[in-house]
A and B are shown apart, each in its own frame.
Chain A
Amino acid sequence: MTAESVDVAILGAGPAGMAAAVAASSAGLQVVLLDDQAAPGGQIWRNVEAVAARGDLALFGEDYAAGVEAVAAFRASSVDYRPLSRIIGVEQPEASDGGDILYVRDNKAARIHAKRLIIALGAYERPMPFPGWTLPGVMTAGAAQIALKTGVLLPERPFVLAGQGPLLLLLAAQFRAAGAVPDVLLRLDDPNLKWRVGKQAINAISAFGDLAKGLKWQRALSSGVGQTILNVAKIEAVGETQLSDVRWRTADGGEGETKAATLLVHDGVIPNAQLTRAMRTTHRYNAAAAAWAPEIDPNGRLSGNEWCYIAGDNAGILGWSAATVTGANAGAAAAASLRASANVPGINQGRLRRAQAMRPLLDALYPPARAFSEIDDRALVCRCESIRASEVREALALGAQGPNQLKAFLRTGMGPCQGRMCAYTIAALAAEVQGRSRAEVELMRLRMPISPVTVAEIAHLNETDMDLPSA
């Protein structure tokens, strides 16, 4: 059986993937888009069609509402959209005629050959381990936002919101609009930082609209909240089989505790680079963003790779508006590389420049919380294998060389999440114990499949291109 073949395969139906799909298909290319969700929009515009249909758009603000138009443009395109598709890996070409994407849909693995690949798998919330973060009752603020968008679910009270970052402000405003005001807000950002970022603030003036939006969220955040604790350095979730209390300690030594039914945490977002890391392409550590991202050229093409482009937050966090530009750029560049005569639509680069102007200020204002920088010994850093920070520190002190050898010592990163939840933490602990910088300790090595796959699913590949020994 010959594998299906297309001009362009796109992974991810968020702002970048949809923009790439619209650009490439309008240039006349045959495009397939694979996404693991049931509906287009990615995480920022999660379930936006259904939310618009039920009249709830106002809860989520104008950035969310912008998704209605983007999703409609995507739906109207000629793109072959395949929701509920789980990517398990890619096979890279030896020549430049493209490569293969392997995915699972309807419990069957399948293979697509594509001349060009655009990876737009977005970002996810930086895992911030603290004692008790595995207790039922604790989840990320982003998870609760998804539950609100898809299931019309609200946090139960007493409700504690803890964390830092611009998205925390947005989430707080959205929960508030939906009728769930935090009883206690624990701010893990450093209140002294804002006095040290004058230079970045001047550079960000060109992104005035975003600044104004941030200030609006900032005001909304504190109004109506039962109690706001500033300068929090450590948090702890307490409970037997589920969350009952939240404890905190501030940087100046203050302590507190409150009853809680729900604790939502947020510590910024990091690129979802699981696939490009498994592809072993070059990744760079961005110290300002405290995150690893694949190295790309100005067109979004993966460094040292002829057929693959990276778009949107997958290549470094810039937000949805910039993602629509880098996505469209990648789609247009892929089209132009395949057909010199491709009619590439004009792309508004101003949004990208504004996002780039704003980012240094946001990175400076919102570094990862101190709770992430000073990881508590009792925190389960590897949730899958139930391994504590203390065990990782002991193994490192015994001579484990780094994240890869720690797998052999402890199995850290070897459970079903494949290091998504612990890779940054393990690298941070190695850097701490070995006295190295974060940039010097590479994240643990990944291998495909990048998500678990059953033998029954793989059996559907029906491969006939294997080199079998002749009789």
Chain B
Amino acid sequence: MLRRRSEPIGDAAIRISIAGAPVVALRGESVATAALAAGITITRNAPVKGDPRAPYCLMGVCFECLMTIDGLPNRQACLVPVQEGMVVELQGERPSLSVASQGVGNDG
């Protein structure tokens, strides 16, 4: 979809991880563009029907770029600047209910 004109080097390079893989991002860019630059074309599956999606507006309007960033789900990745050591997970079609089910103690 999009490719980097030149790779970030020196102080401009920010190392993060996306979906378990190391990614070199550009200082000042968002997590969403870092994912696109890394060649990740499908950044989530829509929760209702599971169809593949990717960032659409990159300005906080469309909510297509939702990702789990440093453990917090459903963050708008286009509004989050990359930071050294950031851990980003992509979201599948069904949001995980593991935390909630642990909380209510469903023994049945």
Contacts and interface: CB of A to CB of B under 8 A. Distances in A.
Q: Which of B5, B48, B57 has the most CB of A within 10 A?
A: B57
Interface stretch (A37-45, A91-99, A286-294, A461-469): A37-45
A101 interface: no
**Interface of chain B, helix or strand or loop or mixed?**
loop
Interface string B60-76: 11111010000010100
Contacts of B72: 107
Q: Which of A137, A146, A154, A262 has the most CB of B within 10 A?
A: A146
Nearest to B79: A36
Given A38-B28, A151-B36, A156-B3, A137 B74 contact: no
B81 A38 contact: yes
Given A136-B52, A139-B56, A152-B26, A179 B5 contact: yes
B59 A153 contact: no
A143 B66 contact: no
B60 to A, nearest CB: 6
**Interface of chain A, helix or strand or loop or mixed?**
loop
Contacts of B43: 136
Interface string A419-462: 01100000000000000000000000000000010000000000
B51 interface: yes
Contact of B79 (A37, A272, A385): A37
Contacts, number: 138
A329 B38 CA distance: 44
A136 B54 contact: yes
B66 A156 contact: no
Interface in A403-429: 415-417, 420-421
B21 interface: no
Nearest to B33: A151
Interface string A142-160: 1110110011111110000
Contacts of B4: 151-154
A421 B61 contact: yes
Interface in A29-52: 36-39, 43, 47, 50
A134 B53 contact: yes
A139 B1 contact: yes
B58 interface: yes
A384 interface: yes
Given A84-B81, A152-B26, A261-B1, 5 more contacts: A139-B1, A146-B78, A153-B4, A242-B1, A386-B48
Contacts of A127: 62
Nearest to A157: B3
Interface of A: 36-39, 43, 47, 50, 84, 86, 107, 124-125, 127, 134-140, 142-144, 146-147, 150-156, 178-179, 241-243, 261-262, 272, 383-386, 415-417, 420-421, 452
Interface of B: 1-6, 26, 28-30, 33-34, 36-37, 41-43, 46, 48-49, 51-64, 66, 72, 74, 78-79, 81
A86 B63 contact: no
A153 B48 contact: no
A421 B52 CA distance: 17
Contacts of A36: 60, 79
B2 A147 contact: yes
B61 A139 contact: no
A242 B2 contact: no
Given A134-B53, A140-B57, A150-B33, A155 B2 contact: yes
A222 B52 CA distance: 33
A136 B28 CA distance: 24
A139 B55 contact: yes
A52 to B, nearest CB: 12
B104 to A, nearest CB: 16
B62 A417 contact: yes
Given A38-B81, A242-B42, A420-B62, A125 B57 contact: yes
B58 A139 contact: yes
